[in-house]
Amino acid sequence: MSSFLRRLPAVLAAAALLALGLQTAPAVLAPPTAAAADSFTDDFNGPAGAAADASKWTYETGDNNGNNHERQWYTAGAANGALDGQGHLVITAKRENSGHTCWYGACQYTSARLNTAGKFSQAYGHVETRMKIPRGQGMWPAFWMLGGGNWPTDGEIDVMENIGREPNTVHGTIHGPGYSGAGGIGAAYNGPVFADDFHTYAVDWSPNKIVWSVDGNAYETRTPADLNGNRWVFDHPFYLILNLAVGGDWPGDPDGSTQFPQQLVVDYVHVTTSSTGGSTGRIIGIGGKCVDVPWANPANFTQLQITDCNGNAAQDWTVGGDGTIRALGKCMDVKYSGTADGTPVQMYDCNNSDAQQWVVTAAHDIVNPHANKCLDAAGVSSANGTKLQLWTCTGNVNQKWSVNQ
């Protein structure tokens, strides 16, 4: 399975600058003081048939009090939610008589629902899972978060939901006072048949903003401006939930076409903290132009450019306490960890390498400590489409950047 990529604290990046022989250590303006760190990781390593780590997860039991008119009975332990011995948690929905009574009579299905309430909760950060969802009418897999027991006042963030009748679509939604249930505020992401393979689902959550992504492609951003005057309640710790529901008002019930058992296979759940209070915004350089991901395409090897500032997510950068600079679910990266003048600066999967470590100095340089070189707009040009590269630090205007503007 995929191993979690550990991030280095920003202080190591500053130390690396010293080790590389800079005569004067730059004063670090960013990342801010609240350092990013791995706050929750579960790679679901363990023997086949074991239950999930009880220090991290609690199995909920019952019929969810009949909410949403779901049809499953959630079971305890490994009966429906077990490790497979290959680095996955497998939540299995079965058509069987559990011996329990649901809201509609004898329960006809079993499944599992796990949460981290009382064991882990967090406000803000990068929340990510990699999973392979089930298929079929009536299936309702979800990875989501709750802000407490008073719903919807305490808030709900749905990182990923799918309903089986929409095999090519996943949803990201927020619920709160005045915008809950069918009135939740969200968006759909249309892609492949998601049940065919593993995909990565994430949110980047900062004060007054949540950004959803699938496989690193950001597709939705929500802020208080989207709430039609209702209260933004995403300002306190939330806990995590993984579940596979069967039936309900939204997906509809299983029918003759639905095959059982069905499985939600979870590769990992990873959460990192993020610096708060002004850590996300534009990076403005020569000619007042913004650092930009061309065509908002975060594919690996996409070389960064400068262009007119336009407020798009492709120009929305998070300077993390881990030394990374991120947008659209990917990291600013020096191609092949190069150190030569002219090495392209690009988008790439975040991987904790030296190529993705940056220090913003008091002189408004953005320095890669590994190369001991600066982020540079090629040719001292401010033209739209000017590519970004590494270059020996010269103090020229094409290497000066205003961060988080």
Burial of 60 (0-12, 13-18, 19+ CB in 10 A): middle
β pairing state of 290-292 and 330-334: unpaired
> Could you give the CA distance from residue 356 to residue 341 in angstroms, rounded to a whole number?
17
Q: Which of 60, 70, 128, 156 is catalytic?
A: 156
CA-nearest of 73, 80, 148 to 105 is 73
156 is catalytic: yes
DSSP strands (E only) in 107-150: 109-111, 113-115, 125-132, 139-146
Any idea which residue has 């995403």 for tokens?
234
> Could you give the CA distance from residue 163 to residue 189 in angstroms, rounded to a whole number?
13
Any idea which residue has 């003759």 for tokens?
256
166 is catalytic: no
> Could you give the CA distance from residue 291 to residue 90 in angstroms, rounded to a whole number?
41
- Name beta bridge partners: 307: 290
Beta carbons of 200 and 130 less than 8 angstroms apart: yes
> Could you give the CA distance from residue 155 to residue 146 in angstroms, rounded to a whole number?
6
Beta carbons of 282 and 404 less than 8 angstroms apart: yes
Q: Residues, the chain, total?
A: 405
Beta carbons of 268 and 43 less than 8 angstroms apart: yes
Q: Which of 60, 70, 128, 161 is catalytic?
A: 161
DSSP string, 60-115: E-BSGGGGGG--EEEPSGGGTEEE-SSS-EEEEEEES--S-EETTEE--EEE-EEE
Active-site residue set? 156, 161
